[in-house]
Amino acid sequence: MLDRKSKICVLISGGGTNLQALLDAEKRGDIKSGEITLVASDNPSAYGLVRADKYLKETCMIDGEEEFIQKLKAKDIDMIVLAGFLKILSPKIIKLYENRIINVHPSLIPSFCGKGCYGLHVHEKALEYGVKITGATVHYVNEITDGGKIISQKAVEVLPDDTPKTLQRRVMEEAEWILLPKATEDLAYRIKKGLN
């Protein structure tokens, strides 16, 4: 059983708005069973790396699988949170952190998920299809894109005058930024208590 906080690595590819939600939640004390000890990106110009620096979080680039695995081991990482990470993790990393990797997806899975459904594309598809309700899902990561067990979901209403950008923003504010910190704390707590 661990008496220390669970060590969290957050993976990002872009602006880092979900990372910001996690950093704010940690600062507020909403994430108390874990600590963000590493922020990693596949994109050297990701603005999320700047956000991480402002909170004095260690950052690294994901250059190759083996180097990244060694970095995770060196930092004693207990769990991984995908926060707008656009690359598919390798089966090796998924196996190493089985049931310890979570992702937030900007729709109510199984709608608008899988290959090619990321970022603004998800909201474009939702509006094209004409759904009246969308939302976000936090799920465990397995080898099927967006196919892992669902942890939590939250619905968000689609408004008649929505554009992909306005819908994206509302889904973030009303669903993603609420679900992801809570799921992160819950998993960190389970790991800390030896339940996961």
Residue 67 lies in a domain: yes
What residues are labeled active site? 105
Split at pLDDT 50, 70, 90, the class of 125 is very high
- Rounded to two decimals, the pTM is 0.96
Residue 141 lies in a domain: yes
Task: Say how many domains are in the chain.
Answer: 1
pLDDT for residue 73 is more than 60:
yes
* pLDDT score at 1: 47
Helix (H), strand (E), coil (C) string for the chain: CCCCCEEEEEEECCCCHHHHHHHHHHHHCCCCCEEEEEEEECCCCCHHHHHHHHCCCCEEECCCHHHHHHHHHHCCCCEEEECCCCCCCCHHHHHHCCCCEEEEECCCCCCCCCCCCCCHHHHHHHHHHCCCEEEEEEEECCCCCCCCCEEEEEEEECCCCCCHHHHHHHHHHHHHHHHHHHHHHHHHHHHHCCCC
Residue 146 lies in a domain: yes
Residue 96 lies in a domain: yes
Range of the domain at 152: 6-192
Residue 25 lies in a domain: yes
Residue 99 lies in a domain: yes
User: Which of 48-52, 63-67, 81-85, 159-163 has the least mean pLDDT?
Assistant: 63-67
* pLDDT score at 115: 87
Write the CATH number for 53: 3.40.50.170
Specify the higher pLDDT residue, 63 or 179.
179
Residue 1 lies in a domain: no
Share of the chain above pLDDT 70, in %: 98
